[in-house]
Amino acid sequence: MTACSIVVILILLGTIVVHCQNETEQSRSHHLWGKIKHTLAFDSRQLNSEEMLLFPDVAFQSVNDNRIWRVMIHGWKYRTNRGKYWLGSHATSWLERLARNLLNPSEIMYLNGSINHDRLRPFFVTDRMNEDIQITIGNQTQTIRTDQNGEFYDQIEMTNDAIQTLKREQRNDFLSYEARGNNRVNATGVIQLIEPSEGISVISDIDDTIKVSEVLDKVRLLANTFISSFKAVPGMPELFQQWKSKNINCTFHYLSAMPDQLYTLTQEFIDENQFPSGSFHMRHFGWAAASLFNFLHSKSTSAHKISYLHFFLSNTNRTFVLIGDSGEKDPEIYGIITREYPERIRAIFIRAIKGESFNDQRFLDAFQGITKEKWLIFNDPKQVPIDLSRAPRTSTK
Ligand SMILES: *[C@@H]1O[C@H](CO)[C@@H](O)[C@H](O)[C@H]1NC(C)=O
Ligand SMILES: *[C@@H]1O[C@H](CO)[C@@H](O)[C@H](O)[C@H]1NC(C)=O
Ligand SMILES: *[C@@H]1O[C@H](CO)[C@@H](O)[C@H](O)[C@H]1NC(C)=O
Ligand SMILES: *[C@@H]1O[C@H](CO)[C@@H](O)[C@H](O)[C@H]1NC(C)=O
Ligand SMILES: *[C@@H]1O[C@H](CO)[C@@H](O)[C@H](O)[C@H]1NC(C)=O
Ligand SMILES: *[C@@H]1O[C@H](CO)[C@@H](O)[C@H](O)[C@H]1NC(C)=O
């Protein structure tokens, strides 16, 4: 075992999923989500194949010119490796050795033998670099190239007429588009339409906000990520469902520092627990991070969230509700953004996960200059208001 492979495994200790995109094998279901979910099923015949993931994203109607929309595309192309020993039984012994070097005996007992190999797979794939991907949405086609992580991003400008036509044709809140790469790998992606001024956008963290992850504890984080099935924070699915049904034109955007290699599993979690469908904005996990724990606690976690919040706020006139937890930097990040856009942030909700008092000095500091009516620390989702239009609209004191 080379030092390099040890580092690779170290980095990992970690995760799942992958799906195979062979359109001809999929019944052309009219129900888009049914179609997407179908692709989530793990197909062992495709162990050695090219695959592509498309992350649900958004399209903004221009705030200055309602004839123009910008459609955001984000995907990942990779090849899974059949026969690589870490995908087979060797993965277990490697992980056990690794665990022995890293963790104390009681922690090892906890992890022993239970790592879910499927969840590790997306971390052991080969990214497809510099490959052309053809995106087709409606009558428009555009070619983009994957970066060194196999990821591709694009903004496609479309006319409002074309968007409205697609909306009528597809009869769904989410528009679908096709992506095509080499080796006949096709995938269907979805885009959530964001009208510029109507409605509320909820931006939500995932880990420890709506899903039990225990990010502050290395071992439990790994167990919750790679071993146990994903569990919803009690009461959060109901809160989100009520937000969706009781507020007009309410859209959901899941902003997470977790690796996008976990996207498929996370999407399943959202669907199974009936959280509202929405766009996903996760981070690609690279080998430069020393571990999943370090990855999540690095400075770039804050940078990732702040840049997406700016991106949302600057591309629409909608009002926003921000929800997160006290585990990492959500209070500080949401505080910064709310001071920058006092009129646009309707409310901030923070789930206290460390038993903090609601008047903890940390929160007073994070929300300094922001009116108290605008932020709420909670430990039971029932404490959070359902009617978001009633939440205070006052600006900073
Ligand atoms: C897709 O599925 C069809 C039918 O099962 C099969 O003939 C074809 O080889 C598959 N394509 C790929 C790229 O696996
Ligand atoms: C991918 O899409 C192209 C064009 O629509 C089609 O010709 C090709 O057969 C598709 N490949 C698969 C595997 O479905
Ligand atoms: C969005 O806000 C800007 C600045 O207040 C304004 O000029 C623009 O007309 C607004 N657009 C819409 C669609 O409300
Ligand atoms: C893991 O579990 C197996 C079987 O339950 C046991 O024999 C082994 O000693 C355990 N390893 C560690 C490191 O606890
Ligand atoms: C695509 O082109 C066809 C034929 O010109 C047209 O009927 C259709 O409305 C167009 N679709 C969109 C989404 O623009
Ligand atoms: C909700 O958004 C749609 C556009 O998607 C708009 O036509 C409608 O007027 C909005 N509803 C309300 C009550 O603002």
Q: Is the dihedral of CA 267, 36, 242, 333 positive or negative?
A: positive
DSSP 70: E
332 close to 215: Cβ distance less than 8 angstroms: no
User: Pairing relation of β-strands 319-325 and 345-351?
Assistant: parallel
pLDDT of 39 reads 36
Q: Where residue 274 falls among pLDDT bands split at 50, 70, 90? A: very high
- For residue 255, the surrounding DSSP H or E stretch is strand 250-259
- Alpha-carbon distance of 312 to 307, in angstroms, equals 9
Q: Using an 8 Å Cβ cutoff, are 351 and 210 in contact?
A: no
Residue 117 pLDDT exceeds 90: no
Report how far ligand 4's centroid is from the alpha carbon of 270 (Å): 34
210, 185, 230, 288: which is closest to 16 by C-alpha? Answer: 230
Total length of the chain: 397
Predicted pLDDT at 29 = 25
- Domain regions of the chain by residue span: 1-30+81-124, 53-78+126-194, 200-383
Ligand 6 mean position, distance from CA 317 (Å): 14
Q: Pick the ligand that lies closest to the CA of residue 170.
A: 5
Residues 128-151: tens digit of each pLDDT: 889 999 999 999 999 999 998 899
Average pLDDT, the chain: 79
What is d(CA 244, CA 386) in angstroms, rounded to the nearest whole number? 9
Distance CA 392, CA 387 (A): 11
pLDDT at 374: 94
Which residues contact ligand 1 via a Cβ below 6 A? 22, 24-25, 184
Average pLDDT over residues 76-95: 60
Of 222 and 204, the structure prediction assigns the larger pLDDT to 204
Residue of the nearest CA to atom 14 in ligand 5?
162
CATH superfamily name and code, 200-383: HAD superfamily/HAD-like (3.40.50.1000)
Region label for 130, one of left (φ > 0), alpha (ψ between -120 and 50) or beta (otherwise): left
Expressed in angstroms and rounded, the spacing between residue 63 Cα and the centre of ligand 3 is: 5
pLDDT at 97 over 60: no
Helices (H), the chain: 3-12, 32-38, 90-102, 105-111, 117-120, 160-170, 218-226, 236-246, 263-272, 292-296, 299-315, 330-340, 361-366
Write out the CATH class of domain 53-78+126-194: mainly beta
Average pLDDT of span 318-343: 96
Tens of pLDDT, residue by residue over 344-359, are 999 999 999 998 988 8
For position 187, what pLDDT does the model report? 93
